[in-house]
Amino acid sequence: MARVRLNETADLSEDHRWLFERLEKQGPILNIFRAMSHSPVALRRFMKFGSYFLTEGKLDPKLRELAILRAGYLCRSPYEFSQHVAFARRAGLSDSQIRGIAEPNVALFDSQEMAVLAYAGELTADSRVSDPTFAAVASFLNDEEVVELTMVTSFYNMVSRTLNALQVDVDAPAQRDLAEVGVAL
């Protein structure tokens, strides 16, 4: 159960209700937004920044989702990991690859995917990336993509840690996705 109230549109001040009204046009408001809406200005900026990575970023969506899932997995964030199962599937990852995020291996991932998983893994677990791991991603990503990979991984570490601290409940569709792929966090 979430440690903060999962706000409804009526809980927001008049100045900030438009945030939820806009989201409602796209479907149910996710619990992450309901929890973060206690800080509406931060939520608005969070949404803009996160949206950039998901809709405008230069990083290949499949590589982006590998980094996000690896960060979510290593942060032990059921909400973050489960929310990105659908994104990962749309980006072309198979359910066996999504399960393989836990223990990446060359039977499931090509050398570029393994390099991204190692990069996201080191950055998440150690707060730094070794020279060999950096060189591996720099061998196929340009500087802009390397910076974006770093920022995506870092951003989703922040998201995972926020969700964990607030114990935000996993939304039902994402809970089903998590059950389908069979990943335990």
Digit-coded pLDDT (tens) for 2-23: 999 999 999 999 999 999 999 9
Q: For 153-166, what is each residue's pLDDT tens digit?
A: 999 999 999 999 99
Q: For 121-158, what is each residue's pLDDT tens digit?
A: 999 999 999 999 999 999 999 999 999 999 999 999 99
As a whole number, mean pLDDT of residues 41-65 equals: 96
Say if domain 59-181 classifies as CATH 1.10.287.90: no
Tell me what the pLDDT averaged over the chain comes to: 97
Q: Residue 164's pLDDT is what?
A: 98
Question: What is the distance between the alpha carbons of residues 143 and 36, in angstroms, rounded to a whole number?
Answer: 32
Q: Please return the burial class of 88, using the count of CB atoms within 10 Å of its CB with bins 0-12, 13-18 and 19+.
A: buried
Q: Residue 11's pLDDT is what?
A: 96
Q: Residue 138's pLDDT is what?
A: 98
Q: For 105-119, what is each residue's pLDDT tens digit?
A: 999 999 999 999 999
Question: What is the distance between the alpha carbons of residues 89 and 76, in angstroms, rounded to a whole number?
Answer: 20
As a whole number, mean pLDDT of residues 176-184 equals: 94
In which band, very low, low, confident or very high, does the pLDDT at 73 lie, cut at 50, 70 and 90?
very high
In which band, very low, low, confident or very high, does the pLDDT at 173 lie, cut at 50, 70 and 90?
very high
Cα R_g (the chain), whole angstroms = 17
Domain layout of the chain by residue ranges = 9-55, 59-181
